[in-house]
Amino acid sequence: MNITYRKATLADVPELARLRIDFLKEVQSPETHLVSEDGLNEILKDFFQQQLATGQIVAWLALADGAVVSTSGLCFSTIMPGFTLLDGRVAYIMNIYTLPGWRKKGIGKQVFYHILEAAKERNYKRILLHATEDGRPIYEKFGFKATNDEMELRLY
Give me the residue spans of the domains in the chain.
3-141
pLDDT at 135 > cutoff 90: no
Which pLDDT band, with edges at 50, 70 and 90, does 1 fall under? confident
What's the rounded Cα separation, in Å, for the pair 22 and 107?
Answer: 17
What one-character DSSP code corresponds to residue 11?
Answer: G
pLDDT at 155 > cutoff 90: no
State the DSSP H helix or E strand holding residue 121, giving kind and residue range, or none if neither. helix 107-121
Mean pLDDT of the chain: 92
Which pLDDT band, with edges at 50, 70 and 90, does 99 fall under? very high
Pairing of strands 89-98, 126-129: parallel
Mean local confidence (pLDDT), 127-140: 86
State the DSSP H helix or E strand holding residue 138, giving kind and residue range, or none if neither. helix 136-141
Which pLDDT band, with edges at 50, 70 and 90, does 115 fall under? very high
pLDDT at 151 > cutoff 90: no
Q: Is 42 helix (H, G, I), strand (E, B) or coil?
A: helix
The pLDDT of residue 14: 97
What's the rounded Cα separation, in Å, for the pair 21 and 149?
Answer: 29
State the DSSP H helix or E strand holding residue 18, giving kind and residue range, or none if neither. helix 13-27
State the DSSP H helix or E strand holding residue 62, giving kind and residue range, or none if neither. strand 60-64
Are residues 98 and 92 in contact, defined by beta-carbon separation less than 8 angstroms? no
The pLDDT of residue 41: 97
| Percent of the chain residues past pLDDT 90, beyond the cut | 75
The pLDDT of residue 153: 76
Are residues 54 and 90 in contact, defined by beta-carbon separation less than 8 angstroms? no
Whether pTM > 0.85 for this model: the answer is: yes
The yes or no reply on domain 3-141 and CATH 3.30.540.10 is no
